[in-house]
C-alpha cells in the first residue's frame, strides 16, 4: 500500500493526472484501470478517476497497476522518416495505416513497424502496445507524426502537448464556404451514442478547440488550414461537420453523397468528378513545430499535400476557382443547421470509456392506442356538455335537459 500527499502545484487536478505525476512509469490508462477497480482511496473511501485532489490530501493506492501485456510483434513496415536523432523521430505516416492496435486491429500497425525498425529504442510510457507513440492520426489521415525514443523525451513532448506549445497544422478541403475567413471552433467532443464508431459535439464531451483559416475558395468547396489546441479523436472532422463544412470525401461525417446532392445541378458533375478522385477524406497533417526535448531548440517540419489531394485542388482550380466565398448556396446553410447540437435534448451524458445503448420509448399496442383515443374523446365530450349546460342556463332553460354531444336527435321530434 502506497500513500501520496498532494502538493500545491497539483491542487485542482484530476486524481489520475496527479497519480501519473508520481508514478512516472505508468500510463494514465493503467492508473485509470486501478481507479475503476476501486483500489485508490481518500479517507478510506474508493474514488473515481474524475475525483479532484486538493493540496494536503493523502491519496492511498492499494497496489501498483498491472502493466498491459504486450502482444505486439515487430513487422517490417516501411517508414518515411523525415528526421531522426537519439531522442525523437519525425515521420510522414501514409494513408490507410492504423497507428496502434485496437478496435479489432492487431497487425499491420505503425507501432509494429516502429518496433521492427527501432527495437528497444522507444519510450514505454504509453505501454507496450504503443511504443514511442506521443500523438495519433486517424487511419485515413496521412501526415507528420512525432515519435519519442526514450521516456524522458516522451514526457517533455507530452508536457508540450498539454501546454499547447507543440503545434500541429493540418490542411483540409471542405464542402461549402465557411462564414468566416478565420476563427476558432470551441465545442466539446465525445462519443456519439447513436453510432459508437463516430464522435460528436456533446455536452458531456471533453473540451476541444480548433483554429481554422481559409486559404482558397471554390464555388462549392474551400481549402482550410487547421491548428489543433487539443487532440480529441476525429476532432477536425467532427468540428468541420459541426461548422457546416464536412471534410471533402469523409465517409463517416457526411462528406460524400450527403454533400454532393446539395451542390447546384449545373455544378454537380464537376463535384462528382472531384469526389471520385478521392479514396477518403482530404485531410493531412502538413506541419509540426515543437521544442526539442534535449537541446531546447525550436524545430519545425513541413511537407506538401499528397498527390491525390493536390490533383483534386488542381482540378477544382481549373473549373470552379473563386476569389471570395460564396454565401448564396442556401443548401449548405441548411446543412449547417442540420449538423448542430444546440438543443439540450441532443446532448448525451456518457463516459469516454463506456457505451450504453440509448433508452428507446416503448411503443403502445393498437388496443392501448384505441383506449387512449376513447379517453380523449370522452374528455372532449364532457367539456362540450358542460359548455352547453352553461349556455342553456343563460337562456333560462333547464340545463339537465341538454343532451350529451354525439347523442343529439337527427330528426326534429316536433315533426314525428
* Residues with catalytic roles: 138
CA neighbor of 146 nearest in space, from 131, 133, 155, 162: 133
Contact yes or no for 145/93 (Cβ under 8 A): yes
Distances from the Cα of 63 to the Cαs of 34, 41, 49, 70, 322, in angstroms?
8, 11, 16, 21, 62
Q: Which three cell numbers stand for residue 97?
A: 495505416
Q: Which residues contact 371 (CB under 8 A, 6 or more apart)?
A: none
Q: How many helices (H) and strands (E) does the chain have?
A: 10, 16
φ and ψ of 341, to 5 deg = -125, 50
Q: Which three cell numbers stand for residue 205?
A: 464531451
How would you write 166-196 as a 3-class SS string? CEEEEEEEEECCCCCCEEEEECCEEECCCCC
Three-state secondary structure call for residue 3: strand
Three-state secondary structure call for residue 301: strand
Give 394: exposed, middle or buried? Use CB within 10 Å, 0-12, 13-18, 19+.
Answer: exposed
Residue ranges of the alpha helices (H) in 279-343? 307-320, 330-339
CA neighbor of 41 nearest in space, from 8, 2, 11: 2
Pairing verdict, β 283-291 and 167-175: antiparallel
Contact yes or no for 223/212 (Cβ under 8 A): no
Contact yes or no for 157/149 (Cβ under 8 A): no
Amino acid at each position: 500500500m502506497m500513500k501520496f500527499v498532494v502538493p500545491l502545484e497539483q491542487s485542482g487536478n484530476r486524481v489520475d493526472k496527479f497519480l501519473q505525476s508520481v508514478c512516472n512509469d505508468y500510463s494514465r490508462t493503467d492508473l485509470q484501470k486501478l481507479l475503476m477497480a476501486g483500489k485508490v482511496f481518500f479517507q478510506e473511501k474508493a474514488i473515481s478517476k474524475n475525483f479532484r485532489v486538493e493540496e494536503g490530501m493523502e491519496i492511498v493506492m492499494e497496489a501498483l497497476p498491472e502493466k498491459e501485456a504486450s502482444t505486439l510483434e515487430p513487422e517490417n513496415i516501411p517508414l518515411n522518416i523525415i528526421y531522426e536523432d537519439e531522442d525523437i523521430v519525425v515521420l510522414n505516416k501514409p494513408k490507410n495505416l492504423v497507428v496502434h492496435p485496437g478496435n479489432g486491429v492487431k497487425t499491420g500497425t505503425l507501432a509494429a513497424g516502429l518496433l521492427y525498425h527501432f527495437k528497444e529504442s522507444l519510450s514505454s510510457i504509453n505501454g507496450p502496445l504503443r511504443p514511442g507513440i506521443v500523438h495519433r492520426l486517424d487511419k485515413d489521415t496521412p501526415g507528420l507524426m512525432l515519435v519519442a525514443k526514450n521516456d524522458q523525451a516522451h514526457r517533455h513532448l507530452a508536457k508540450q502537448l498539454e501546454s499547447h506549445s507543440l503545434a500541429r497544422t493540418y490542411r483540409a478541403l471542405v464542402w461549402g464556404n465557411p462564414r468566416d475567413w478565420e476563427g476558432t471552433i470551441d465545442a466539446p467532443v465525445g462519443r456519439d451514442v447513436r453510432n459508437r464508431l463516430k464522435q460528436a459535439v456533446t455536452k458531456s464531451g471533453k473540451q476541444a478547440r480548433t483554429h481554422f483559416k481559409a486559404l482558397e475558395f471554390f464555388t462549392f468547396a474551400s481549402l482550410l488550414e487547421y491548428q489543433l489546441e487539443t487532440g480529441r479523436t476525429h476532432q477536425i472532422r467532427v468540428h468541420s461537420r459541426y461548422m457546416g463544412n464536412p471534410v471533402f470525401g469523409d465517409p463517416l461525417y457526411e462528406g460524400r453523397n450527403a454533400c454532393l446532392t446539395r451542390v447546384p445541378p449545373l455544378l454537380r458533375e464537376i463535384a462528382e468528378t472531384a469526389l471520385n478522385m478521392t479514396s477518403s477524406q482530404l485531410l493531412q497533417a502538413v506541419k509540426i513545430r515543437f521544442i526539442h526535448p534535449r537541446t531546447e531548440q525550436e524545430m519545425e517540419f513541413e511537407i506538401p499535400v499528397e498527390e491525390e489531394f493536390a490533383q483534386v485542388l488542381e482540378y477544382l482550380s481549373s473549373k470552379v476557382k473563386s476569389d471570395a466565398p460564396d454565401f448564396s448556396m442556401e443548401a449548405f446553410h441548411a446543412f449547417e443547421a442540420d449538423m448542430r447540437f444546440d438543443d439540450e435534448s441532443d446532448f448525451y451524458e456518457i463516459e469516454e470509456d463506456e457505451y450504453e445503448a440509448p433508452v428507446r420509448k416503448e411503443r403502445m399496442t393498437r388496443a392501448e392506442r384505441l383506449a387512449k383515443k376513447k379517453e380523449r374523446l370522452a374528455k372532449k365530450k364532457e367539456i362540450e356538455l358542460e359548455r352547453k349546460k352553461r349556455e342553456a342556463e343563460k337562456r333560462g332553460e333547464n340545463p339537465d335537459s341538454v343532451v350529451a354531444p354525439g347523442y343529439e336527435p337527427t330528426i326534429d321530434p316536433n315533426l314525428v
